[in-house]
Amino acid sequence: MGSTANCPHVLENATLEPNSYGSQEHKVICTFSIIIFSVTFLLGTSGNGLVIWCTTLKMKKTVIVVWLLNLAVNDFLFTLFLPFTIATTALNRHWTFGRYMCKLNATLFNLNLFVSVLQLTIIGIERCISVIFPMWFKNHRTPRLASFVVVAVWILAFLFSSPYFIFRDTLSIDNKTIHCDYKFDGDNSRSAITVSRGSALFITRFILGFLIPFTIIVLCYVVTALHIQKKLIVKATKPLKIIIAVIVSFFVCWFPYQVFVLLSLSNMYTNDKHIKRVVNIGYSLTKSLTYINSCINPILYAFVGRTFKKDFWRSIQQVFENAFMEEATKADFRSETKSSNAF
């Protein structure tokens, strides 16, 4: 697509006034984005790394642990590539990492969305089945089956994300800088093909990556709550607080962005600079919010889930204890060595 309006990522199908890249407003948004991305990278890689370590080595493999491990792996992979986005933002959106990394970077953003929302949908369906068919659920709910479901989630997410790998590409802006952007119809950013393909892609993402999954999730939890109330088995089948917290945080982080993506499509049909400016700013800020979601889950695991919190902090304590014991052992060894050398 042609010149676009936001930092650090392209505002789908919205145009930028020629002098906007040097504006004070643009610099403030870029600075804000760099801070958000940097914090997300530090917390996301370390936090999700700890969750992966804890769930794979320190916790009993249960279905819930498999679900949380999948979410952690997904967020860890996404945040691991954030330095590319940070560098590009600092360079005023100039892309220096080549065509393949351009495609991969955009694909990972959408892959993170689809894996997360599909996994949360699966958890919602599982909670519903657990209260409606408790005996069947007890006999068939195994970590092995959960692992197969996780594989299916990733395959489906890859299929949903493939268009972003196809249409994302590097292109020259004003024959000077290389940007990583969507290219729907060659270099023609104003053709009917570009408009129709761009609109179809982002509306489809809203439907598949947000509207349908969250409709299913809400319905599942409504049915679950009604069934629990009817059977008076609140204590035995009460949904996990940690899962509800993860779903709420995902909704809060992603819903505003989805709204502004749809609003950005209107920028193709209006010449009102004020409307474009509001949409561009809103898009940039809400997209930064989606990145925060990739580092917030470990915080929820550590402070919301009772069982996970207990195992998590116990594992962290063991890490520090082992580290201090190792250092103490090394110090004692060095001391003994010096004493023996003295004779």
Cα–Cα separations (whole angstroms), residue 218 to 31, 224, 249: 37, 10, 14
Domain definitions of the chain by residue range:
20-304
Bridge partners of residue 177, in order along the sequence: 173
Amino acid at 98: G
Classify domain 20-304 at the CATH class level: mainly alpha
Indicate whether this model's pTM tops 0.85. no
Q: Which of 321, 317, 322 is nearest to 54 (CA)?
A: 317
4 to 7, 29, 113, 289, 304: CA distances (angstroms): 9, 14, 23, 20, 41
Please answer whether residues 48 and 75 qualify as being in contact, where contact means their C-beta atoms are separated by less than 8 angstroms: yes
The helix (run of H) or strand (run of E) holding residue 266 is: none
User: Mind listing the pLDDT tens digit of every residue in the chain (343 residues)?
Assistant: 333 333 433 344 333 333 344 567 778 888 999 999 999 999 999 999 988 988 888 778 888 889 989 999 999 999 999 999 999 989 888 888 989 999 999 999 999 999 999 999 998 898 888 888 888 877 888 899 999 999 999 999 999 999 999 999 888 766 666 788 888 876 666 667 777 888 889 899 999 999 999 999 989 888 887 877 766 554 444 445 777 888 888 999 999 999 898 888 776 666 667 777 888 888 888 998 999 999 988 877 766 655 566 666 666 666 555 545 544 444 444 555 444 444 4
